[in-house]
Amino acid sequence: MRMRSLPVCLLLFIVLQQVIFPVTLRGVEDWTREQAVEEIDALVVIEQLKKNKPADRMAQVRAWLKKIEATGLDLGEDAYVKAFPLYLVGKKEDGPSSRPASAVDCLVGHIIKHGGLPAGAGKKYGGWIDRILPMAIYEALDEKDHARVKALLPTLALHGARGAYGAYSSFGSRLVKSEQPAEVKLLTELVAMAMADQSMDAEMKGKLLKYLYSAEPREARERKAPGVARRGREAETGEIRFAEFSGKTLDGKEVSVKDFRGKVLLIDFWATWCGPCVREMPNVVATYEKYKDRGFAILGVSLDHPGDEGKIRDFMKKQGMDWPQLYDGLGWKTAPGVLNNIRSIPFTFLLDREGRVRFSKLRGEALERRVAELLSGKEPPPAPEKLGKDQLAMREIDEVLGVRRRGNLIFCKGTDEGLRKIDLFLGEYKTSPLREKALYLKAISLWGMHRYADAAPVYGQFLAAWPESDFARIARIREGAAYLFSGQAEKALPKLRAIQEKYPDQPEGYARELASALARTGRIEEAHRFMDDVEKSMTAAGKSRMLPRLKSVFEKLRVVGGKLKSFEVKDHRSGKTVTPAGFAGKVVLVDFWATWCGPCVAELPQLKKTYEKYREKGFEIFAISLDDDKARFEKKIDDAGMDWLHFFDGGKWKNELAVLFDVHSIPASFLLDRDGVIQAVNLRGAAVDDWVGRLLEGKKGAPPAAARSPRRGILPARGARSVRPGTPVTLRATGSSEVLTLDLAVKTPWHVFGNGARDGIPLKIEFLEGSSFSAASAPRIPAGKEGVLEGNFRITVPLKRTGPGEKILAELVYQACNDEVCMPPKRLRFEIPAAAGKRKPLAPAKEDDNGMRNKFISRMAEHLDQGKTVKGGKLASQLDRKLFEMDCSAGSPAALAPADIYQSAVKSVVMVGTLYKCDRCEDWHSGFASGFVIGSDGVVVTNYHVVEKAADVETLGVMTHDGKVYPVSSVLAADELQDIAVLKVAGKGLAVLPVKADAPVGSDVYVLGHPDGQFYTFTHGLLSRYLVHEAHHKKGKGPRGKINRMAITADFARGSSGSPVLDGTGRVVGIVSSTRSIYYNKEKGVEKNLQMVLKHCIPAGELLKLLPSPSTVQAF
């Protein structure tokens, strides 16, 4: 008996031992708080990542979070650092548009608990704090939680990367527009906090007060939409889209644009809350008073908010605005604004006496000038039937130079033949109005051919003749830069200083050139102060995104006066050791270059000439190649006679010395004197010769200004100088199971490289893990001229299937160059579904309605238990979000068979379901509507009323046709009047439906939805008409106004709300909304004899209004 009980006792002992003495995790027994912080710093601190960014960074971040959770390690006053990995993981899993709730809660909770963050937090984590904390502050403002705002804002001011000025100005600019007593009080308290902030000096505090309390308050900055012009731009006749309109004035009178025929009419879109509008209004009033008796009229369109009639009248009376004002209280949705796609104000159209639009976006002096021209009748006719000799000559010049105009920018290819024709034109047509364009074309042609010494005086002549030209701003910067690049820094400096005085608040346009001019003229301390001021002011003004490229130039200029960092490498030819110490007693040019870099190759003849001239006097060149092709590199240095020191390690942009000196673009160079002190950086052309000769004579500082002899360009120009676009290349991808098609657009003046490229890295397409397809053969890439590709072109890639599904996931790898710099290779990732191609007939799908319903309920209940869902009431409260920026897929215009339309659409149409419990049992129930995917990262469209009803249920989710269930995490945008809601779910790699603005009446349409729980029912009909009617709501609730609808004959019923209406190409042209039954008669309140059911849908154009395309930011 005792022997039998021994195993039982032993087992009991082992179990108790595990309970009483639990086994600890391996590797974490001695893990300290300091070690934990050090580990996460290596993964989130930007400075550390620049030196060593792990390839598996996200895996390490997740492992760190799991380790913290498993050990329960108390980070104490450093607990806030957990917010930064939580932010990374949240954005990675939920998409870039998601709100990282856990990260926000972690950081805010720590600040509230500890009264702030530890000293020095901002130095390491300022960028992360700037990303996370403003979310919490904006939410607190929305919720009127002013106590929380006051608790969080000082921490953002003290530790955020934008500093105190950026923090207080951002949130103060929002409060300053409010007239609510509580928000006025909060603004006063925030200003008091700012005045007590020791990090701002008196001058900065004064700027803040002026910004917030000026008589003309500013609006919060908005990113401009593509194509929206900047201040001062004028559009030429024939370029302007304009739709006539009518409306009611403040006095209730109906006024139409047509009423002003016979007068010169200015149409002015404005608002009392718009600071630029307010500042421009005195100029508009003055112009009106001067010309109103000569046939000039103004029609104002106010974009003010509902209920602002009194405010508008008071403003008009104060300013003396004695002209009619249209106002409907709809703000940006006012009918005249929507008709004419008004995306920014002030915005003006100027019409001649015949009602033709002649100019737009007129402001300042240009407004009066153009009004006077139209009233006098001296302006050139809009469309002359016969071209004059000067116009024919200019057309010939345009063709030779390949002239392209975009707004106030002109691009062309500089050639000797083009210059000859321009000189003939200037000599023959002394009084032609086209001389302005001709002289400007000459200047930019010389610039593009690298003949900077010739270009600078031509820019000067142009500015002297036309100081108020549309091109004057660019010309002023180019004039100074041309003197700088031709080695005449003393001449460049006053030109660039004048630009600084004219545009003090826009240093991004000239800071690089002005800093270089100061450094090259020996004003090192002034250059350092200027660069510091630029970084500080741009950060305070919210222009941090423009700083990285400027900083890369500033960092090189800041080394002037110092010595090179220490290194030790071998000369490629001789194998001798090269170190900075070995340069002692010589003047040395350290030059970063590559055989594939056109601007670098263009400089070689000048460098060789300078080397041969001074090598016997103590001049040396140390060239660092960023090539990876050793044979090509060796052939080039032999063929070009580059008989100086070389370093090559095949690492390209990861070249040992390129990394050491933080080189991000080439050509780049440092010039050292005999003592090893850096005297100049990034010298080009003849400037190298001047500096080297001066340093060899023992003279310090920049060479004196001297006129340069003309120098012919070596590299054929491919366009004007870079305007620093954010992305040089954009693409549109479409594909089938057989071929991938990429339509590429390369922004002027950049170019990329195709097959047969001699200077750069050719384009390539790399398919990624998770793609259902890969390349069946080599991509068909255009050859281009000498391998150079510009403008718009197409790439096709034959495909083969490599996995399940219909996903095409790949990256375009390209290298962009212009005539001054070459950038490192960049990647553009794209993910699209393979459109249905020719295939064998598929077996008909059999839908199991009950099975799908039960699966949805089961999976949503699991998500609910795991805490992954969002309350229905919270989702309904987010329906006030108005816009969400994204680019919808445009799809292909190719017609499809109905079966192919269904097979393509069924992957993107989703069941939008609720989860709730009734009063009679404990089981979960669901109700369903329809929706469809427009963003592969989980962007779904349905009806507003579907989400509105979710306020009374537990939560909301979607289910795809293949059975994947995702909770709805947020509402991205909504429009109650038009009955549209755009939702975010946690899905990744979802198939999307392309969207088209409209379809013609009479065309075939298809609906795929879930009428009365009959999931994935596909119907066919015609688009019968478009209509406008007044919105009506039950019990009188909801917004009133006119709504646009389309009527179709394809069947749908309850449960179909949110279904896509598809055209014959499979693109979404509408969204199912509602039905209306027509009966023949009504007896005793009962309608009888049903005759017809009208099926109304929302045109897809209304959806696109909620989804503006993302803006771009450009320096002028």
Chain segment 512-536, per-residue pLDDT in tens: 888 888 877 778 778 888 888 888 8
At 1111 the pLDDT is 29
Q: Which tens digit of pLDDT belongs to each residue from 1028-1051?
A: 887 755 445 556 677 889 999 999
Lowest mean pLDDT among 145-159, 466-480, 577-591, 1079-1093: 1079-1093
Q: CA 870 to CA 861: how far, in whole Å? A: 12
* 20-29, 399-408, 773-782 — most confident range: 773-782
Share of the chain above pLDDT 90, in %: 18
3-state secondary structure of 963: coil
Q: Range(s) for CATH 3.40.30.10 in the chain?
A: 246-376, 559-696
Average pLDDT over every residue of 553-560: 73
Q: Where do the DSSP E strands lie in 279-383?
A: 296-302, 325-326, 347-351, 357-360
- Residue labelled with tokens 């001047």: 690
Distances 613 to 485, 617, 641 between C-alpha atoms, Å: 21, 8, 14
At 179 the pLDDT is 67
Q: Range(s) for CATH 2.40.10.120 in the chain?
A: 849-1106
Q: Which tens digit of pLDDT belongs to each residue from 240-263?
A: 667 788 888 998 888 988 889 889
Higher pLDDT, 340 or 736: 736
Provide the pLDDT confidence category of residue 777 given band limits of 50, 70 and 90.
confident
Q: Which tens digit of pLDDT belongs to each residue from 805-862?
A: 888 988 888 888 776 667 777 778 888 888 754 444 444 557 788 889 999 999 999 9
At 211 the pLDDT is 64
For the cut 50, the answer to whether the pLDDT of residue 223 exceeds it is no
At 46 the pLDDT is 76
Lowest mean pLDDT among 524-533, 564-573, 778-787: 778-787
Higher pLDDT, 112 or 229: 112
Q: Are 939 and 983 in contact (CB under 8 A)?
A: yes
CATH topology of domain 849-1106: Thrombin, subunit H (2.40.10)
For the cut 90, the answer to whether the pLDDT of residue 910 exceeds it is yes
Q: Range(s) for CATH 1.25.40 in the chain?
A: 384-488
At 720 the pLDDT is 31
Average pLDDT over every residue of 446-455: 84
Q: Are 646 and 625 in contact (CB under 8 A)?
A: yes
Amino acid at 183: E
Query: CB-based burial of residue 196 (10 Å sphere; 0-12 exposed, 13-18 middle, 19+ buried)?
Result: exposed
Provide the pLDDT confidence category of residue 165 given band limits of 50, 70 and 90.
confident
At 933 the pLDDT is 93
**Which tokens belong to 537?**
């002011």
Alpha helices (H) in 56-214, listed in sequence order: 57-71, 83-94, 101-114, 121-142, 146-159, 163-175, 181-195, 202-213
Q: CA 70 to CA 840: how far, in whole Å? A: 53
At 391 the pLDDT is 85
Q: Find all residues with CB under 8 Å of 1, minimum gap 6, and list them.
A: none
3-state secondary structure of 796: strand
**According to the CATH classification, is domain 384-488 in 1.25.40?**
yes
At 929 the pLDDT is 93
Provide the pLDDT confidence category of residue 715 given band limits of 50, 70 and 90.
very low
Q: Find all residues with CB under 8 Å of 865, minimum gap 6, and list them.
A: none
At 95 the pLDDT is 61
At 238 the pLDDT is 39
Provide the pLDDT confidence category of residue 539 given band limits of 50, 70 and 90.
confident
Nearest to 1070, CA basis, from 1050, 1054, 1055, 1053: 1050
CATH topology of domain 246-376: Glutaredoxin (3.40.30)
Q: Tell whether the torsion through CA atoms of 569, 571, 574 and 579 is positive or negative.
A: negative
Q: CA 667 to CA 823: how far, in whole Å? A: 10
Q: Which tens digit of pLDDT belongs to each residue from 21-68?
A: 343 344 455 788 888 888 888 888 877 777 777 878 888 988 888 888
* 653-657, 719-723, 958-962, 1100-1104 — most confident range: 958-962
Q: Range(s) for CATH 2.60.40.1250 in the chain?
A: 729-833
Which conformational region is residue 355 in: left (phi greater than 0), alpha (psi within -120 to 50 degrees), or beta? left
CATH topology of domain 729-833: Immunoglobulin-like (2.60.40)
At 743 the pLDDT is 86
For the cut 80, the answer to whether the pLDDT of residue 79 exceeds it is yes
Q: CA 931 to CA 911: how far, in whole Å? A: 6
At 246 the pLDDT is 85
CATH topology of domain 559-696: Glutaredoxin (3.40.30)
3-state secondary structure of 986: coil
Share of the chain above pLDDT 70, in %: 85
At 928 the pLDDT is 92
Mean pLDDT computed over every residue of the chain: 80
H/E stretch holding 624 reads: strand 619-625
Q: Are 884 and 973 in contact (CB under 8 A)?
A: yes
At 220 the pLDDT is 38
3-state secondary structure of 354: coil
Average pLDDT over every residue of 128-138: 87
For the cut 70, the answer to whether the pLDDT of residue 901 exceeds it is yes
Q: Are 980 and 941 in contact (CB under 8 A)?
A: yes
Q: Are 656 and 679 in contact (CB under 8 A)?
A: no
Start-to-end CA distance of the chain, whole Å, equals 95
At 361 the pLDDT is 85
Q: Which tens digit of pLDDT belongs to each residue from 91-124?
A: 777 665 567 888 888 999 989 888 889 888 888 8
Q: Are 181 and 221 in contact (CB under 8 A)?
A: no
Dihedral of the alpha carbons of 213, 216, 219, 225, in degrees to the nearest 10: -150
pTM over 0.85: no
Q: Which tens digit of pLDDT belongs to each residue from 467-518?
A: 878 788 888 888 988 888 777 888 888 888 888 888 787 888 888 888 888 8
DSSP state of 585: T
For the cut 60, the answer to whether the pLDDT of residue 379 exceeds it is no
Q: CA 44 to CA 84: how far, in whole Å? A: 7
At 833 the pLDDT is 87
User: Do strands 296-302 and 264-270 pair parallel, antiparallel, or not at all (unpaired)?
Assistant: parallel
At 401 the pLDDT is 84
At 12 the pLDDT is 45
Amino acid at 143: E
Q: Are 959 and 853 in contact (CB under 8 A)?
A: no
Q: Are 89 and 62 in contact (CB under 8 A)?
A: yes
At 844 the pLDDT is 55
Nearest to 928, CA basis, from 991, 998, 1009, 1005: 1009
DSSP notation for 675-709: TSBEEEES--THHHHHHHHHHHTT--SPPPP-PPP
For the cut 60, the answer to whether the pLDDT of residue 1116 exceeds it is no
DSSP notation for 713-763: -SSPP-SS-----S-SEEEEEEEBSSEEEEEEEEPTT-BEE-TT-SSSPPP
H/E stretch holding 1041 reads: none
